[in-house]
Amino acid sequence: MSHSRSTVHVTRTLDTPLGVASAAPAAAGILPLHPYTQHKNGTAERMIRTLNTKARSMMWDANVPIKFWPEAIRTACYLHCRSPTSSLSGNRSPYEALYGTAPQIEHLRRFGCRVNKHILPAQRTEKKFGNRSSVCMMLGYVHNTTKVWRFWDFNSGRIGRAIECSSVVFEEKENAHSNEQKLEAIVFPNPDPDELQEEIPKNEMDEMDEANDTSGQEFSKSRNPISPLNK
């Protein structure tokens, strides 16, 4: 059994003092770049910008915290690969260009929407009288399947965790995280003291000041009556 070996030549270019590794002196391989020189890697940087824009829009629409940005980027990439683009002939999607068939889109759901996950009988803590579903948040999808989704389970662990499940009911018109915030605001109100004070109209304030001045003058006369000798 013979093995073929290719000599790796390291050449020094103006792009980097570290050199360029390639299989031949004239071939281009991995080109390391200095920090803050993203313009030399324009295609990849443009795609990163596209994914960031889509992820930011989904997070703003779902009103989710910033800690869910990795899941938003992952979902944005999944949707981008299944979206038609003018960069490919016939406005095909990257998925269709790679696999030769159109992608399935019937399983797509809105990011961050409210999801009711079915709790199996063996997982119920209170048996017959316990909850049969729990509230989750839609996060994304699972590769190579259209029957399983990724969710954030609020009731799992101390702060929740990401799970994969298929027995769910979607409520795409409701945001899961915003509902949790509204519930906390109702249970633990924190009103502003300035808002609790009733605003008194200016004319009523003037009348109250005049009444106070009049009562103060009458009170001073009762305490210090004018003596007949001073008249």
Structural domain boundaries in the chain: 41-187
Q: pLDDT tens digits, residue range 58-97?
A: 999 999 999 999 999 999 999 999 999 998 998 999 999 9
pLDDT for 102 equals 93
pTM of the predicted structure, to 2 decimals? 0.62
Question: Which residues 6+ apart lie within 8 Å of 23 measured at CB?
Answer: 6, 7, 8, 9, 29
Burial class (CB in 10 A: 0-12, 13-18, 19+), 104: exposed
The token pair at 98 is: 């790679």
Q: pLDDT tens digits, residue range 27-69?
A: 456 667 778 877 777 888 899 999 999 999 999 999 999 999 9
Contact between 21 and 10 under an 8 Å Cβ cutoff? The reply is yes
Burial class (CB in 10 A: 0-12, 13-18, 19+), 180: middle
Q: pLDDT tens digits, residue range 116-153?
A: 999 888 888 877 787 888 899 999 999 889 999 999 99
Q: pLDDT tens digits, residue range 1-15?
A: 444 444 444 333 333
pLDDT for 70 equals 95
pLDDT band, residue 156 (cuts 50/70/90)? confident
pLDDT for 120 equals 85
